[in-house]
Structure 1
Amino acid sequence: MTEVLFYHLLRQPLEAVLPTLLQKSIARGWRVVVEVGDEERLASLDDHLWTYSDDSFLPHGTAREPDAADQPIVLATGPDNPNGARVRFVVAGASAPDALDGYERVVLIFDGRDEDALAAARADWRRVKSAGAEATYWQQDEDGRWGRKA
């Protein structure tokens, strides 16, 4: 069964949190697809993943590139899964996928300071739970560490 995790950002922006989660995923040997809400956000995140650290970068591509199937991380604006990822991150205005089949883990990351993002995450939570999936809810503490809340 697919594990669904909801990450509620309170202290740090997506750009500070996502690279670390992606690094951990790659270290586990997972292929990842990251779904974002629109092309502008995809372009911004694409640039950020190449430059977020002076010490490293995250090898990735976008779903529109011809070699997307070969990339360990693919950024997409829709339900595409061109690299056969078993882990899906849903961020920046994207919604939980209707079908969770085929994924080991789906991670929804939302900004707790954005009322629209909160409302969308609540709707996604209800939809995921009503589909019978096991979901957990994680929230940042004041130091930016994650604590399980549900």
Structure 2
Amino acid sequence: MGEVYFYHLTRSPLEATLRLLLGKALDAGWRVALRGRSDAILDRLDAALWQGGDADFLPHGRAGGPHDADQPVLLTTGTEAANRPDCLVCVEGAAIDAAEIAPLARAMIVFDGQDPQAVQTARDQWRSLKEAGIKAQYWSEESGRWTRKAET
């Protein structure tokens, strides 16, 4: 059964944290679905993932293209990902269901600690997934480096 990691952003921007997390997921050999709630966030993340040159390039594509199934990282607002992900990363409070976590190697919820609504959404997701029996870890960068603060 998959597990979910919560990443509470308090210092780093979303784009920098995603570069780190997506890089580690790809290094593990995982295909990733990156789920947001709006096209606006996916436009922003798509542009950010293309920047940085060859050393920082993260191969990815937007859902709805002819090569979705081949994408190592697929950016989507939908709940179905054609790239058969091993890992699901949710941003912007995107919905996640306990049933979809079970077949994954990992799910990640990345949320903005400066946004009270994002924090509340993450708390609600933590509670819901915990009640469903999903193993969870909560990570914070409050100290200046990522530290695991809680787990179920």
Taking structure 2 as the reference length, the TM-score comes to 0.93
The AA in structure 1 aligned to 2:26 is: I
* Deviation of 1:132 (Å): 0.6
Instruction: Give the drift of 1:21.
Output: 0.9
**In the alignment, which residue of structure 2 is the partner of 1:79?**
79
Between Structure 1 and Structure 2, how many residues are aligned? 148
User: What letter is aligned with 2:21?
Assistant: L
> What pairs up with 1:26-105 in 2 under 5 angstroms?
26-51=26-51, 53-54=52-53, 55-99=55-99, 100-105=101-106
Q: Confirm or deny: 8 A CA contact 1:79 1:97 kept in the other structure.
A: no
Whether the 8 Å CA contact 1:9–1:109 is kept in 2: the answer is yes
Distance 1:124 1:91 in 2: 12
Structure 1 position 110 matched with structure 2 position 108: no
Gaps of 5+ in 2: none
Q: Post-superposition shift, 1:56?
A: 2.5
* Cα drift, residue 98 of structure 1: 4.5
Structure 1 runs of 4+ aligned residues shifted over 3 Å read: none
2:124 counterpart letter in structure 1: A
Task: Answer yes or no: is the 8 Å Cα contact 1:38–1:93 preserved in 2.
Answer: no
Larger helix share, 1 or 2: 2
CA RMSD of aligned residues (A): 1.1
> Is 1:127 the counterpart of 2:128 in the alignment?
yes
> Residues of 1 paired with 2:43 and 2:65: CA distance?
13
Q: What displacement does 1:28 show? A: 1.1
Please give the TM-score of this superposition, normalised by the length of structure 1: 0.94
2:18 aligned partner:
18
Question: Structure 1 residue 44: deviation in Å?
Answer: 1.1
Higher mean C-alpha displacement, 89-98 vs 57-66: 89-98
Counterpart Cα distance in 1 of 2:14 and 2:143: 16
